Chains A and B, each alone.
Chain A
């Protein structure tokens, strides 16, 4: 291509590019300059606040910060920096909730193994992919044993779980369980069998018709009233069921969108080759439909991951809940920005990761040129 062989130096390229895009007319030039000043001001303000003037472990006098009164900004008027000590002092709670300190290594092992369990299904060009896939299927059992306990490991009841652990548990497990369920729901909704079809339609429309909060309330508050005495399903499990059902209904609609985009001729061609329904679906329809449905599927996944913070209202401390509990402690009260910036950052890392992965997948699966 001609551009790539351009004789200009790099700096010239930038100059030409910016003349074309940023300074094409005097009004654009003014807007560019205003925008640059704005970015500079906000950027330096934020960096000063978050890093250069911030307290991490010690304050400006070198004292170790054990409560909010030691924060530099609470000692001297001129100090404005963030006081990140609240995050460090409560780091265990942010990461593991009330999980016993001496058992936290078990959660760390699972945090470390989680990427290994995911790459097998996320990337198909991986060497030894089969081994990774086996590991993926073994992972839920390993995770259950490590996190909850069993022979050789003490039991840590789920009411001790919290923070990032609960957020990831609900997010990852909810998405993983909802995905297969949603495929069946989407296929069922397009089925010719009236009973299957109506069950799927009613399920999807009912779940989509109520807010997640309502489902969580129902699972948490109403369920025990209907169950016989003594049967008390685990609180976290109830939330997981609600989250999974919610996610599967939304994902099913995303997948149905993909299914509807497949031309009828594809199915007819498959049938004329003698493929039965399942063969047609598995080999012809789903691979194409899921590819089309990637953006909306990832969209619902990101939405769900953030929605997990709603479990606070049924008394589970997810990452955000732990942050709010920290703020309610008189030792740290009023450090709103520090806590919310930290929690947003963690949510952003995961959500941005998901969105980048979906872009990668779209590019890889792009077959039309």
Chain B
């Protein structure tokens, strides 16, 4: 088995390297559109809407890259990928980048030969309970029954967390998300646990979403972010800084509404560099100077994208939490633009 694995990995590597020599940025520019690996459908992160247009915060990263490269956020072709085929599709060059709620791990970054260019959503395992239980912290959950999907990392994280806090629990095993929803709603368990974003999305579909709370404790790290092939740092930079531009724009208060005003009037040197008022920064990435301004104009800054697709005013109703800027109490942080 190991031999087969090694053979397969080297095969992937050889051909992966072969595709990289062309330079993804040039390939994308020649082709005239960006091919982006997306989810097959995850509310708020990436799914086609009623009109067949893809939307979500993962989709917005693809759109940002297209806006940076072409000045047109709509020049994206979405290839829906299941979790099983996503990495091979990227390695074989079928997609230029991957933006589909994928956790950044050592193995994926190093052994699979990918390069994660940043984090666009800090996820982690959370707990949801009924409000009338009167619980406000996961540490008060001693002795509770937990609906949990069998054979997942979630199961191990749960055991670790309860063990570390000296608490006991009764496990109610379920197979799928929808089964978990049904069991939890029927009162077969007190707690439902999975990735927090999944809890929010589930809750949005409940008959009375306000009767359930997602507790503040997050017991595992699931940094989700876009990735590219690991041997094309020029292209990785384009994707990385497209995401960073959205984050910096939020930091600087630049929105899709005021971007033109900022270009004309902002005295802040970093804003001027970002928006191409001071020329020359786009060329470093192989783009024109208006690249970041195009992203903000067409896609918006990070906060706009977040609030539009998964924020507190959407049915998914996720607080910024960890995903707030570092100066607002979160850990979202982009390197300086200089």
Q: A residues touching B (Cβ–Cβ < 8 Å)?
A: 68, 74, 89-90, 92-93, 97-98, 159, 217, 220-221, 224-226, 229, 232, 235, 312-315, 317, 321, 324-325, 327-331, 333-334, 336
Query: Scoring B residues 33 to 67 as 1 if CB is less than 8 Å from chain A, else 0, what string do you get?
Result: 00000001111100111101000000000000000
Contacts of A221 in B (CB 8 A): 85, 88-89, 92
Chain A residues within an 8 Å CB radius of B338:
none
Residues on the A chain within 8 Å of B49, using CB: 329, 331
CB distance from B209 to the nearest CB of A (A): 11
Neighbouring A residues of B314 by C-beta, 8 Å: 330
Residues of B within 8 A of A321 (CB): 40
- Taken residue by residue from 12 to 35, chain B's Cβ proximity to chain A (1 for < 8 Å, 0 otherwise) reads as 100100110010000000000000
Given contacts A229-B22, A330-B43, contact A224 B93 (CB under 8 A): yes
Residue of B nearest to A66 (CB): B50
13 other A-B residue contacts (CB within 8 Å) besides A315-B40, A328-B43, A328-B47: A90-B50, A98-B52, A221-B92, A225-B11, A225-B88, A315-B79, A321-B40, A328-B41, A329-B43, A330-B43, A330-B44, A330-B315, A333-B204
Is A220 within 8 A of B41, CB to CB? no
Q: Mark B314-332, 1 if CB is under 8 A from A, else 0.
A: 1110000000000000000
Residues of B within 8 A of A327 (CB): 41
- Asked whether B5 is an interface residue with its Cβ less than 8 Å from the other chain, the reply is no
Q: How far is the CB of B8 from chain A (nearest CB, A)?
A: 9
Tell whether, in the assembled complex, residue B85 and residue A333 are in contact, meaning their CB atoms are under 8 Å apart: no
Which of A92, A93, A317, A331 is the one whose CB lies under 8 Å from B80?
A317
CB pair A225–B92 under 8 Å, yes or no, is yes
How many chain B residues touch A (CB < 8 A): the figure is: 37
In the bound assembly, the distance between CA atoms of A225 and B84 in angstroms comes to: 16
Contact A313 B82 (CB under 8 A): yes
Main secondary structure of the interface of A (DSSP, over half): helix
A336 to B176 Cα, complex, angstroms = 14
B129 at the interface (CB under 8 A from A): no
Closest to B80 in A: A315
Q: List 9 A-B contacts (CB under 8 A).
A: A220-B85, A229-B15, A235-B79, A328-B42, A329-B43, A330-B315, A330-B316, A331-B49, A333-B204
Instruction: Give the docked Cα–Cα distance between A235 and B44 (Å).
Output: 26
Q: Which of A317, A325, A330 is close to B201, meaning CB atoms less than 8 Å apart?
A: A330
Given A229-B19, A334-B205, residue A329 in contact with residue B178 (CB < 8 A): no
A312 to B80 Cα, complex, angstroms: 9
User: Chain A: which residue is nearest B54 at the CB level?
Assistant: A98
Select B85's contact among A217, A226, A232, beta carbons within 8 Å.
A217
Q: Is the CB of B40 within 8 A of A325?
A: yes
Most chain A CB inside 10 Å of its own CB: which residue of B11, B52, B207: B52
Cβ-neighbour of A315 out of B42, B85, B178 (below 8 A)? B85
The answer to whether the Cβ of B246 comes within 8 Å of any Cβ in the partner chain is no
Q: Are B92 and A315 in contact (CB under 8 A)?
A: no
- Find chain A residues with CB under 8 A from B79 CB: 159, 235, 315
**A220-B85, A331-B50 are contacts. A74–B207 as well, Cβ < 8 Å?**
yes
CB neighbours (8 Å) of A93 from chain B are 48, 50, 52
Does residue B77 face the partner (Cβ distance < 8 Å to A)?
A: yes
CB pair A325 B48 closer than 8 Å: yes
Q: Are A329 and B201 in contact (CB under 8 A)?
A: no
Inter-subunit contact A224/B94 (CB<8 Å): yes
Nearest-neighbor residue (CB-CB) of A100 within chain B = B52
The closest CB in chain A to the CB of B48 belongs to A325
B38 closest partner in A (C-beta): A315
Residue of B nearest to A157 (CB): B77
Q: How far is the CB of A165 from chain B (nearest CB, A)?
A: 13
Instruction: For B94, list chain A residues within 8 Å (CB).
Output: 224, 232
Which of A217, A225, A333 is within 8 Å of B12, CB to CB? A225
- Contact in complex: B41, A325 (CB < 8 Å): yes
Q: Are A329 and B47 in contact (CB under 8 A)?
A: yes
- CA A295 to CA B1, docked complex, whole Å: 42
Q: How far is the CB of A293 from chain B (nearest CB, A)?
A: 36
CB distance from A158 to the nearest CB of B (A): 12
- Interface check B228, CB cutoff 8 A: no
A333 & B89 in contact (Cβ 8 Å cutoff): no
Q: Contact check, A333 vs B205: say whether CB atoms are below 8 A apart.
A: yes
Residue of A90, A313, A315, A325 ringed by the most chain B CB atoms within 10 A: A315
Which residue of chain A has the shortest Cβ distance to B89 in the bound complex?
A221
A239 smallest CB distance to B (angstroms): 12
Assess whether A329 is in contact with B204, with CB atoms less than 8 Å apart. Answer: no
| Chain A to chain B: the 8 pairs with minimum beta-carbon distance, closest first | A328-B41, A330-B43, A334-B205, A224-B92, A325-B41, A333-B205, A221-B88, A315-B80
Would B81 and A315 count as touching, CB distance under 8 A? Answer: yes
A221–B178 CA distance with the chains assembled, in angstroms = 29
In the bound assembly, the distance between CA atoms of A229 and B93 in angstroms comes to 9
Query: How far apart are the CA atoms of A217 and B12 in the complex, in Å?
Result: 15
CA distance A92 to B50 in the complex (A): 9
The winner among B19, B92, B201, B315 for most chain A CB atoms within 10 A is B92
User: Whole-angstrom distance between the alpha carbons of A368 and B282 in the complex?
Assistant: 82
Bound Cα distance A329, B314 (Å): 12
A99 closest partner in B (C-beta): B52
A198–chain B nearest beta-carbon distance, Å: 26
Select from chain B the residue with minimum beta-carbon distance to A312. B40
Q: B37 — nearest CB in chain A belongs to which residue? A: A315
Distance (whole angstroms) from the CB of B179 to the closest CB of chain A: 12
Closest to A332 in B: B50
Q: Which A residues lie within 8 Å of B40 (CB)? A: 312, 315, 317, 321, 324-325, 328
Bound-state CA distance A14–B22 (Å) is 79
Chain B residues near A90 (CB, 8 Å)?
50
CB-CB under 8 A from B48, the residues of chain A are 93, 98, 325, 329
Which among A90, A159, A225, A334 has the greatest number of chain B C-beta atoms within 10 A? A225
Complex contacts, A329 vs chain B, CB 8 Å: 41, 43, 47-50
The CA of A89 and the CA of B93, in the complex, are separated in Å by 35
Which residues of chain B from 67 to 94 have a CB within 8 Å of any chain A CB?
77, 79-82, 84-85, 88-89, 91-94
Q: Are A225 and B15 in contact (CB under 8 A)?
A: yes
Q: Nearest-CB distance from A342 to chain B (Å)?
A: 16
Residues in B neighbouring A325, C-beta threshold 8 A: 40-41, 47-48, 80
Q: B residues within 8 A CB of A317?
A: 40, 80
Chain A residue at minimal CB-CB distance from B84: A313
